Amino acid sequence: MALPLHPPTEPMLATAVDAVPEPDAVEGGYDYEPKWDGFRGIVFADGADVEIGSRGSKSLTRYFPELVDVFAAQLGEGCVVDGEIVVRTGRPGAERLDWDSLSQRIHPAASRVAKLAEETPASFVAFDLLAADGRSLLDEPFAQRRARLETLFADVAPPLHLSRTTRDAALARRWFTEFEGAGLDGVVAKPRAAAYQPGKRVMRKVKHHRTADVVPVGYRVHKSGTGVGSLLVGLYDADGTLRGVGGASAFSTARRLELLHELEPLVERDAAGEPVRGEGERSRFSAAKDVGFVRLRPERVLEVRYDQLEGGRFRHAVQFERWRPDRDPASCRYDQLESPRPTTSTTRSAEPDRDYSADLRARLGCTRGGSPGIFGYSGG
């Protein structure tokens, strides 16, 4: 059976908001779901032929062989499923999502990939259906796609799961608070009447803090002369230009040295093999300051925590949260942010302005015939 959609297909995205929206804030109302802290994955399954796509067109197929086998066995032919790849750790009944273990799964060595598939196997949580029985569902409203997804996943077994959903905004607000201890990242609100629009920010998301995916473009050596003192980061604008938006700093001594090692493969070098240096903008506050930095090739993505965007830049220094090996640098755009877009030109090397509960964690696991937990309607 031929698939009506093929990779790369961009996932539908969400815009960050400050609070869970009311159901009547959009025509047709909202469905609310937990926001999973994992790798976004669009699964193209046609019998034994399986491909796992992600944001930025990066293929995740080779990194999760245990999931590929399950998709081939359980999903059948002609379907495309949107969901999240996660890793669960902890004793049965008190599990949580483990980002560190998940991020280690992206490894270039096939032997390491196989080893980690055994040691830290992944799960897949489905939350949308883009195609079924060889027919595209992109134009159908989410309420209908969700109903079809529930039918498709009625008899699946772990590690496949169906995400919980509710139309009760009050319950969604409880999830936002209570499930944080299990490693979930917030709540997503999906318009029930909306078609699936790849690459468009149709949904709304409420997170426990503001984060952004950015591209490292340079670093400054710490004033001690050892390690990374600050990391300069950028975002792509609507024209595809990478613009500096600020920097991350305040690293511990050990972390400064770790970052120096992690960033080494990205350092731009001249014909003689020496690091290429750039110079950031000067202001009346930095006239006598060394604003030079080591240039980095824009080939990795990191997630940062920020408080406010102003004039196209982060108002204060951001906090380094984690590397995002599942993301493509080109996907790091201004439109992911809830603050206004930049209206004036900035250079990519611009300097920043200034430097739970246990019982609910237990519900993370699914039990046949009992409480479905956050994972919802899986047959686990």
Contacts of 208 (CB under 8 A, 6+ apart): 176, 180, 185, 186
**35 catalytically annotated:** yes
Query: What is the spatial distance between Cα 352 and Cα 349, in angstroms, rounded to a whole number?
Result: 9
Which of 35, 190, 205, 207 is catalytic? The answer is: 35
* Complete DSSP assignment for 222-246: -TTSSSEEEEEEEEE-TTS-EEEEE
Q: At what angle do helices 65-74 and 110-119 cross, to 10 degrees?
A: 70
DSSP state of 208: S
Across the strands, what pairs with 132?
Answer: 135
Q: How far, CA to CA in Å, does 194 sit from each of 18, 42, 157, 206, 326?
A: 21, 19, 29, 19, 27
Question: 113: buried, middle or exposed (CB in 10 Å: 19+, 13-18, 0-12)?
Answer: middle
- Token pair, residue 320, equals 């380094």
Residue 345 structure tokens: 């030109």
Strand partners, 86: 123
Active-site residue numbers? 35
